Amino acid sequence: MRVNPTQTLRLIGQPSLQNFLHFIKEQVIEESPQPRSYWVSIWKQANNEYSALEEQERNIANSIDIQLLPDTLAAKAESVRENPFYQSTFDKVATRFAWVELEKLVVSQLDVNRDYNKRLDENATIDLSSPISQAQLFDFCLPPKADNNSVDIQRISHKRYQFSSESSDFRPHNNALLNAEQINDLQSFGPVSAVFGAPVGFGSNFLTAIESQERLVLHNGYHRSLALLEAGIRYAPFIIQSVECLDELEICAQSKVVDDSNFYFGAARPPLLKDFLNPKLAKLFTVHRTKKVIEINIDVKEYQVRV
């Protein structure tokens, strides 16, 4: 069987040993397979480190420094507000731009793909190893033009299509009913009255965090946030969504944050972005490369009814 490996940096020690063992079994490529007891001991070491941090850094996530965006970036922030992607995404709860301390961001995503980070460095419009301006940093974190990563399209049958991408941000968009004037260069055997669209694509690609109970949970932009922290950059511009109750959280956050909100917003020492830099808490694994797949099935029925 052909193996297509990649490298991922994964936080271990929490939230559960069972999830970690499942990760080892299903995703990790081991040159010399280890018994499960070995991986249990690795997880326990990290778990013990988190237990110590609960005492040493109790509620450190509550002390995250959130500053006003510099006045020099006001025009750029206003430009983002006028972006249709921003207006379609951040119209549900109170939202603001801020200059955020990176290392104390609470994280719910345990993996960061290192090959993706390498591609990020290669394709970035800025060199993170050199001094950069606040304006350059803003465009890196809140890009004026969203990336449209490559998507593979395959026709499985006459009414079944498959779309795939290596980006974890790949997702279905809202279905839409379009009129003929909204479709350019559509060729058919006669006049077209309407078109039903099932679009797929990506998110707005802004660095975003969700705020509640004095904490910020990183929502989007894990690879860029970690790349900045590894480069020694301590603060970055973010879009912050503030929620005051579970109902608001449900319409903004990922399901794992909603399902375990007491942990992410209430635990004495939840996982933080800076933990990816701690070799006692983060390990590099060789894993199977994956891609996200969206399948769309078309079922058209044609019949007559009495009027």
DSSP state, residue 72: G
Quote the CA–CA distance of 142 and 77 in Å, as a whole number. Answer: 9
Tens of pLDDT, residues 192-231: 888 888 899 888 889 999 999 999 999 999 999 999 999 9
| R_g (Cα) of the chain, nearest Å | 22
The Cα-based distances of 157 to 20, 70, 160 in angstroms read 38, 54, 5
Residue 165, classed as helix, strand or coil, is: strand
CA distance 249 to 258: 6
Domain-by-domain residue ranges, the chain? 66-147+205-271, 152-203+292-297
Q: Encode pLDDT of 36-65 as tens digits.
A: 999 999 999 999 999 999 999 999 999 999
Residue 266 to residue 224: CA distance in whole angstroms: 26
Spatial distance between the Cα atoms of 296 and 289, rounded to a whole number of angstroms: 23
Of the ranges 128-142, 144-158, 289-303, which one carries the lowest mean pLDDT score? Answer: 144-158
**Those residues with Cβ within 8 angstroms of residue 62's Cβ, 6 or more apart along the chain or in another chain:** 213, 214, 215
Contacts of 168 (CB under 8 A, 6+ apart): 292
pLDDT in the model for residue 120:
59
- CB atoms near residue 162 (< 10 Å): 13
Cβ-based neighbour number of residue 128 at 10 Å: 19
Cα–Cα distance measured from residue 221 to residue 93, given in angstroms and rounded to the nearest whole number: 20
- Contact of 43 with 11, CB cutoff 8 Å: no
Instruction: Report pLDDT for 14.
Output: 84
User: What is the spatial distance between Cα 221 and Cα 226, in angstroms, rounded to a whole number?
Assistant: 9
Q: How far apart are CA 218 and CA 272, in angstroms?
A: 9
Res 149 pLDDT > 90 = no
> Would you tell me which CATH number, out of the four given (3.90.550.10, 3.30.70.260, 3.40.50.300, 3.90.1530.10), belongs to the domain 66-147+205-271?
3.90.1530.10
Distances (CA, A) of 239 to 92, 104, 132, 204, 217: 13, 16, 20, 12, 12
- Say if residue 123's pLDDT is above 70: no
- Measure the CA–CA gap between 43 and 78, rounded to whole angstroms: 45
Q: What value does the mean pLDDT of the chain take? A: 91
Owner of token pair 């970055």: 236
